[in-house]
Amino acid sequence: MSDKLILQLEALKSLQPEAEWVKNDKEKLLCLISASCAYRAEEKSRWKRWESAFSNLWPAHLAAVFGALVLILTSGTLTVAASQSSLPGEPLYPVKRASERMALAVASEEEKPKLEIEQAGRRLEEIAELTQKTSDAAQHEKVAELMSEYESQLSSANDRLTKLNQAKAGKDVAKLAATAQVVTTQSDKYTEVLKKTTDTMPEAVKAKVSENVADAKVTSEKVNVEAMKVVADAHGTPEVTDEEMQMATRRLAKIDEATEALKLRAMSLNGCEAGAKVYLAKDLEKKYALKPNSGDCVLGGTAEERYRTVSSIKEQLEEVRIKLRDKDLKGALVVISTALQRTEDLTKELNADEEAKQKAAEEAARAAEEAKAKEKETGTLGRE
């Protein structure tokens, strides 16, 4: 027995890794190794070259410092200037962003919001340019990233404005008002530009970035309202210009538009189509006279909750309308900003809801697939 077993064990030597695998794995490994070797060799030789070039003139480290200084002084301004038209993914783009950050760091507190708004405008320009280039495969990712950059720059401008407005002591009020004026006009422009840009986007990209766009829209409105508040505070209540009234009305229309979109999203949570007549489950429970037809939409659960929030925001907007009619700009702006805050929160909630819904759908699909596979398995077993 044991002799035979020893022979058998010896024969196990014929176990071999697949030749194909060995070849691939070896190549991979050798490539890894030779790359690390090459890197080390290169590092050494580069250092030696520097040393030999300067050793008879100066000590090596002095030479390095001098060289770096020359480089910075001669090429810095040129590089920054050249970088200004660059797009994400291009080598000079980080230089552009760094120069922006630098400008922001040295600006005075009152002017920072203005700078941030300008920089956000550049993000919008970049988005427009990127969407015109159709060849880029990772386009939508870059657009989404830029969109969230735009949004974060706006919201940071918004925070700054709020803070400045609350603590005006020792600040240059006239300068602040001027800044806020620029912010209002610019952000008003941006909402239009953003709309146009998203309209001209390729469908595939549009679908991917729709969430970011919705966020960005709300933030644009917020910063605009905040800036308007600053302006209204600065020049006192009595005189309200026509321009300001128009601006406020436009905000109202925009928020109305946004809430309408949110309403549709809330409806689609329960699978309802746009234009269907909406009934709420709790209303149906209370009022027996209400009887939905087959084409009508009945909302229950979270969808119902969201729908109710939208309705109450709409009521607030009605309030704003009345205040504007009475030329109470300040009061209107206060209500608008709370309505906006609620819109923003609702957008976030809806995003989370939709994500959860999608996840649940995926899980259900997977479970169904597994069940099918199991059924198949038991089927084949039965045949055997």
- The token duo for 327 is 């030329």
Binders of another protein among 9-38, rule CB under 8 A? 9-18, 21-22, 25-26, 28-30, 32-34, 37
* Nearer CB in complex with another protein: 31/64: 31
* Residue at 49: amino acid letter: R
8 Å CB contact between 109 and 171: yes
* Residue at 289: amino acid letter: A
Span near another protein by CB under 8 A; candidates 2-10, 145-153, 214-222, 292-300: 2-10
Residues 6+ apart with CB under 8 A from 48: none
In the complex, the smallest distance separating the C-beta of residue 37 from another protein, rounded to whole angstroms, is 4
In the complex, the smallest distance separating the C-beta of residue 39 from another protein, rounded to whole angstroms, is 11
In the complex, the smallest distance separating the C-beta of residue 49 from another protein, rounded to whole angstroms, is 20
- Compute the distance between CA of residue 212 and CA of residue 219 in angstroms, rounded to an integer: 11
Backbone angles phi, psi at 199, to 5 degrees: -65, -35
Binders of another protein among 33-92, rule CB under 8 A? 33-34, 37, 40
β-strands 278-280, 297-299: how paired? Answer: parallel
* Nearer CB in complex with another protein: 12/57: 12
8 binds another protein (CB under 8 A): yes
Backbone angles phi, psi at 103, to 5 degrees: -60, -40
* Nearer CB in complex with another protein: 39/58: 39
In the complex, the smallest distance separating the C-beta of residue 136 from another protein, rounded to whole angstroms, is 36
Q: Beta-carbon neighbour count of residue 343 at 10 Å? A: 25
Q: Which residues are registered as beta bridge partners of 360?
A: none
Size of interface with another protein, in residues (CB under 8 A) = 29
Integer-rounded Cα Rg, in Å, for the chain is: 32
Binders of another protein among 185-224, rule CB under 8 A? none
For another protein, the binding residues (CB under 8 A) are 1-3, 5-18, 21-22, 25-26, 28-30, 32-34, 37, 40
